[in-house]
């Protein structure tokens, strides 16, 4: 048995003197960016299934009208917790995991700049996630006001609100510390010759994302702290009875919340920008325009927040401003889609699993983008507001968008990480099951929303029954398909065909010229030359 205190002794027996220990102590005390990247990715995968189980509870209840499985209170806790877990516990940690694994190797650095901070950034997460989940078992249950936690409703929550807010503070701290580490690493640890405009796109997207995180996570922390003092210490920031304004919270929340969307989607863009050139056997088209488009999206994302609040009764000039600024984001986004398409144009294309997920991302993320433009039109948003159309929109952005990018990235880099090939045939089956079921799951929700079905309700009028049943069937197929992903990853980690030096036969991705037969403790990889 290996315990924490035996870690040092175990190290003496290690055949690799770089090894920080074995068993539990290796993972607790590791400062290796690859180990920490693995920890983030495994944590994200566990959270995917916890948040996914909550989604399936929601879809089971909505399979038919009437109340079947859960009471309305628990249903509301599920919609709130599903979102918080998926956003803060699953997708953000997943991309930090990719950043940990890939950024040092891509810029020719031996590790992250602040390795012990890196360890702490990760190990905050399991505690924060546990605290957040534990609120479900407290008296009165967890907070039940959506992930947006709007007052005055959220102020009706029980004492568990204090624990939920504490968990959000911890999750935010973890993100900020991770972002600081990424910025310091990229700015200071690049190999000679690796100028900023030679960095792989994934590194660029994460550098810009890290600045966004440092800008907006403290704003969320401030907002939820004001909720905390309103609920427990008698202040009235958001309580009209005491002279406060509940709409103020919406402004603060969405000043964080909209850039948060891009904190999730920019690293996805980065992964897609690595995958598409590799399977097109061409360099990325329009590299510098990609960098400027990413920066442009990040800037614009900070001046569009009130498009989430068109119905609160803001001045006409405000509605016009937020409508126009939101639509401007379509321009840099279209630049990116054009560049990805132009990269594939006359390329020597092949469609292994990572490329399939990347191409599906292009089509399906675009559906989320177009419905976003629809909602940006202030006068028609009055029709869509708080309907299932919104749910359909952001799930297209986040599931076949961000999650597909993360899954595609995992398939893309698994051979690099493990030294083994994954099972291509199973990967393709996993892709097709996911791509078909995700559309059965989310596309009908557009129809439900346009027909007037509200979001966040456990029951609905009978005219919504058919598409809800279809959506729920899609949800269960999609959810269980992801078990295949776990099987494929475990199988790949444990063995399989050896990965070759150039896994994807890729003249562009020279990062592949350094094979990783021993994925851990290799500090001596030569710098990447592009
Ligand atoms: Cu937004």
- On whether residue 24 sits in a domain, the answer given is no
Element (H, E) at 295: helix 287-301
- On whether residue 20 sits in a domain, the answer given is no
Parent domain of 135 = 30-529
Residue 22 has pLDDT above 50, yes or no: yes
**Tokens for 273?**
């920008």
Q: How many CB atoms lie within 10 A of CB 8?
A: 12
Residue 276 Cα to ligand 1 middle (Å)? 27
Q: What is the pLDDT of residue 114?
A: 96
Asked whether 492 and 393 are in contact (CB, 8 A), the reply is no
Residue 464 Cα to ligand 1 middle (Å)? 27
- On whether residue 21 sits in a domain, the answer given is no
Q: At what angle do helices 424-450 and 404-418 cross, to 10 degrees?
A: 160
- On whether residue 11 sits in a domain, the answer given is no
In tens, the pLDDT along 110-147 reads 999 999 999 999 999 999 999 999 999 999 999 999 99
Q: What is the mean pLDDT of the chain?
A: 91
Q: What share of the chain is helix, strand, coil (3-state, %, to 5)?
A: 70, 0, 25
- On whether residue 451 sits in a domain, the answer given is yes
- Look up 472 and say whether it is catalytic: no
Distance of CA 312 to the CA centre of its chain: 28
Alpha carbon distance, N-terminus to C-terminus of the chain = 45
- Look up 40 and say whether it is catalytic: no
- Angle at CA of residue 366, ends 365 and 369, nearest 5°: 90
Which is higher by pLDDT, 336 or 21? Answer: 336
Residue 216 Cα to ligand 1 middle (Å)? 13
3-class DSSP state of 242: helix
Residue 58 pLDDT class (50, 70, 90 cuts):
very high
In tens, the pLDDT along 78-102 reads 999 999 999 999 999 999 999 999 9
- On whether residue 291 sits in a domain, the answer given is yes
Number of domains making up the chain: 1
Q: How many CB atoms lie within 10 A of CB 90?
A: 25
Q: What is the pLDDT of residue 524?
A: 42
Residue 402 Cα to ligand 1 middle (Å)? 15
Active-site position among 282, 307, 430, 446: 307
Q: Beta partners for 498?
A: 420
Residue 256 Cα to ligand 1 middle (Å)? 10
Q: Beta partners for 420?
A: 498
- On whether residue 486 sits in a domain, the answer given is yes
- Look up 422 and say whether it is catalytic: no
- On whether residue 13 sits in a domain, the answer given is no
Asked whether 304 and 329 are in contact (CB, 8 A), the reply is yes
Active-site position among 260, 319, 352, 423: 260
In tens, the pLDDT along 222-260 reads 999 999 999 999 999 999 999 999 999 999 999 999 999
Average pLDDT (500-521) is 48
375: left (phi over 0), alpha (psi -120 to 50) or beta: alpha
Residue 384 Cα to ligand 1 middle (Å)? 14
DSSP character at residue 420: B
d(CA 463, CA 104): 54
- Look up 254 and say whether it is catalytic: no
Q: What is the CATH number of the domain that holds 509?
A: 1.20.210.10
- Look up 455 and say whether it is catalytic: yes
Residue 495 pLDDT class (50, 70, 90 cuts):
confident
- Look up 190 and say whether it is catalytic: no
Q: What is the pLDDT of residue 434?
A: 98
- Angle at CA of residue 239, ends 235 and 244, nearest 5°: 80
Q: Beta partners for 454?
A: 387
Q: Using a cut of 0.85, tell me whether the model's pTM lies above it.
A: yes
């Amino acid at each position: 048995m290996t315990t924490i205190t035996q870690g040092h002794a175990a190290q003496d027996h290690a055949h690799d003197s770089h090894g920080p220990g074995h068993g539990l102590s290796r993972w607790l005390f590791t400062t290796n960016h690859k180990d920490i990247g693995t920890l983030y990715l495994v944590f994200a995968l566990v959270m995917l299934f916890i948040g996914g189980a909550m989604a399936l509870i929601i879809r089971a209840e909505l399979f038919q009208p009437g109340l079947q499985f859960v009471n309305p209170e628990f249903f509301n806790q599920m919609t709130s917790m599903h979102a918080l877990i998926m956003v803060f516990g699953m997708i953000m940690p997943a991309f930090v995991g990719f950043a940990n694994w890939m950024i040092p190797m891509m810029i020719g650095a031996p590790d992250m700049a602040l390795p012990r901070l890196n360890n702490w950034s990760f190990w905050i997460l399991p505690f924060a996630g546990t605290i957040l989940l534990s609120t479900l078992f407290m008296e009165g249950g967890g907070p039940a006001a959506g992930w947006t936690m709007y007052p005055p409703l959220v102020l009706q929550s029980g004492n568990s609100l204090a624990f939920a807010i504490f968990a959000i503070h911890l999750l935010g701290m973890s993100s900020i510390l991770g972002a600081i580490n990424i910025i310091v690493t990229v700015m200071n640890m690049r190999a000679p010759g690796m100028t900023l405009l030679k960095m792989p796109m994934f590194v660029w997207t994460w550098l810009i994302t890290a600045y966004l995180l440092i800008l907006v996570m403290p704003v969320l922390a401030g907002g939820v702290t004001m909720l905390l003092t309103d609920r427990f210490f008698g202040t009235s920031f958001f309580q009209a009875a005491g002279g406060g304004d509940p709409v103020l919270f919406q402004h603060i929340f969405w000043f964080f919340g909209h850039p948060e969307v891009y904190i999730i989607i920019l690293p996805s863009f980065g992964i897609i920008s690595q995958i598409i050139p590799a399977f097109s056997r061409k360099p990325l088209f329009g590299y510098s325009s990609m960098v400027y488009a990413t920066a442009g999206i990040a800037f614009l994302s900070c001046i569009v927040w009130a498009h989430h609040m068109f119905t609160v009764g803001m001045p006409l000039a405000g509605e016009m401003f937020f409508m126009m600024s939101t639509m401007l984001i379509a321009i840099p986004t279209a630049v990116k889609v054009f560049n990805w398409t132009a990269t594939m144009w006359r390329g020597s294309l092949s469609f292994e699993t990572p490329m399939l997920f990347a191409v599906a991302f292009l089509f399906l993320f675009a559906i989320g983008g177009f419905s976003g433009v629809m909602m940006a039109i202030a006068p028609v948003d009055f029709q869509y507001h708080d309907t299932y159309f919104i749910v359909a929109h952001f799930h297209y952005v986040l599931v076949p968008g961000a999650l597909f990018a993360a899954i595609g990235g995992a398939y893309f880099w698994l051979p690099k990480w493990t030294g083994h090939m994954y099972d291509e045939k199973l990967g393709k089956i996993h892709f097709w099951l996911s791509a078909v079921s995700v559309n059965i799951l989310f596309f009908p929700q557009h129809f439900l929303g346009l027909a007037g079905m509200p979001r966040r309700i456990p029951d609905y009028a009978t005219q919504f029954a058919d598409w809800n049943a279809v959506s729920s069937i899609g949800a269960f197929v999609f959810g269980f398909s992801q078990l295949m992903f776990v099987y494929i990853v475990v199988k790949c980690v444990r063995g399989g065909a050896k990965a070759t030096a150039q896994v994807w036969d890729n003249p562009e991705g020279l990062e592949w010229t350094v094979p990783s037969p021993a994925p851990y403790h290799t500090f001596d990889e030569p710098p990447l030359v592009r």
